[in-house]
Amino acid sequence: MNSKLLLGALALGMAGGALAATDYPSGYTKCAQVGSTCTMSGTHTVALGKSGSFVYTTLSGSFTCSTALFPSNSFTSSAWCSVGPTASASSSASSSTSSSVASSSSSKSSSSAAASSKSSAAASSSSSSKASSSASSAATSAPASTATRPQLSAAVAANFTVAKYLGSWTPAAISTPSTPDYTVSSSGSYKTVQSAINAAINAGGSTRKYILVTAGTYNELVFVPSGPPITLYSTGAASSVKIQIATSALQSGSEYAAMVKASNYTSAGQSWVNSCAGKGSAIGTTCSAAFIIQNTGFEAKNLTITNSRVESGSGTDQAVAVYTVADQVHVDNVRMYGNQDTLWVDGAGKRFYAQNCYVEGDVDFIFGAGTGVFDNCQINYTAARGKNGSTIGAPSTQAGNYGFLFNGGSFTGSNGASNVSFARQWPQSSLSSPIGKMILRGVKIDAFINTTTPWKDWSSSNPVNYGTTSDPYLGEYLNTGAGAAK
């Protein structure tokens, strides 16, 4: 653990027994139920959550846990506020029925439901000794900012929150009605995801259309055109529904045409497919996308989307899993898999909000000019094909726009990942002087990261540009874990 980050004891009010571990994110400290007051030292990320669903904001000092403080939620009084990593906090309940126990936050970065229960019990038995040390541990300090690992001050970090990135848009919790407008199943009227999307688009109007996808694997390219907003969801685990296809930038137009049939799509989708099929020896990165979103207000929940292309070890075989170029796109508990270029968040100023998500890849696998918020997501770098020393992100943000924000969650590595960089700034040729912006705040970072210089030059002629202390392009704030700044 970082010796500069002081973790203090926490006194919290609990009504009605122990708090479930799913009511606070891993790495966060339980603080107060809605209606109770939480007092913390300094400015921190605060989560409001229940049953594994969370929304986040940034707060300072003492506050009353209230749903009104958060940018989007559908919680009731049974939800809880918890404080981001390294914070010291205490709560006072507004109800006289609340009792007080103490909880240690020293092991919360690797908590499970069982471990959390044990640590809470252990902390309760030692509350008196912890109380005596709370005063000395209340001051929370951040790691020192360095030339290659700039750290945001609390004042600057207040400008880089979920609410700031999303602006006028406050995403509501995604509904998953038991009686949808359309159902995709092997035995129903809509046997493919695309056929149900076509029906929803053809129905027209402006009312949101709900499409339930039943458990199964759907081997198809999905194109969601503009039209009435669509919610695509399953009611089970994300792994129960798999949407996949093996498209690649290195495919020829004729190979693509043999895999994707234009007749399966609406007119907008047909134009997309025919354009890609008409290309020559290589269709390119854009046409490699397996799931294309052009639908403003699109929502997805409890799904897995994969570009199943077996890419070459050279790293030049782009194969996009999700390409989003619409505004106000919201995904919850969606898992996205690929290698190079897994998720493309495109469109300057277009907003993409992902919560409780999982994104996996190995080269520039979260990239683009759009505004992307990743709230309590796991970002996993895989070295399955032997690629190390590469980058997670490749933002191409333009001046005046927000780029990528990773708020809470974790950066992990698998299959021997090592020496990996957070990002390199993509000088996207189709844009006017792109800068590339990416901020990590309250993220648990594992040891696979290059801890000395985690931000990488694109090339010798396009070196890393950190921005300034008051206007950072790249930076960190109160991250934890072996890969965090010390």
Q: Residue 193: CA atoms inside 13 Å, Cβ hemisphere, count?
A: 30
SS3 403: coil
Q: Judge contact between 31 and 89, C-beta under 8 A.
A: yes
Q: DSSP class of residue 79?
A: -
Is 364 assigned a catalytic role? yes
Q: DSSP class of residue 190?
A: B
| Sign of the alpha-carbon dihedral angle for 47, 450, 394, 243 | negative
Identity of residue 74: S
Q: DSSP class of residue 262?
A: G
What Å distances lie between residue 189 and 158, 177, 195, 196, 212, CA to CA?
A: 50, 19, 9, 9, 12
Choose, from 317, 341, 346, 364, the residue flagged as catalytic. Answer: 364
Q: What does the alpha-carbon distance between residue 168 and residue 299 come to, in Å, rounded to a whole number?
A: 17
DSSP labels for 130-171?
A: HHHHHHHH----PPPP-SSS-B--HHHHTTSSHHHHHTT--P
Please list the residues that pair with 224 across neighbouring strands: 293
Residue 463: burial class (beta carbons within 10 Å; 0-12, 13-18, 19+)? exposed
Please list the residues that pair with 190 across neighbouring strands: 184
Q: Around Cβ 341, how many Cβ atoms within 10 Å? A: 27
Q: Which two tokens stand for residue 164?
A: 């700031």
Residue 246: burial class (beta carbons within 10 Å; 0-12, 13-18, 19+)? middle
DSSP3 helix / strand / coil % (the chain, rounded to 5): 15, 35, 50
Residues near 471 by Cβ (< 8 Å), separated by ≥ 6? none
Q: Around Cβ 61, how many Cβ atoms within 10 Å? A: 11
Q: Judge contact between 55 and 37, C-beta under 8 A.
A: no
**Active-site residue numbers?**
364
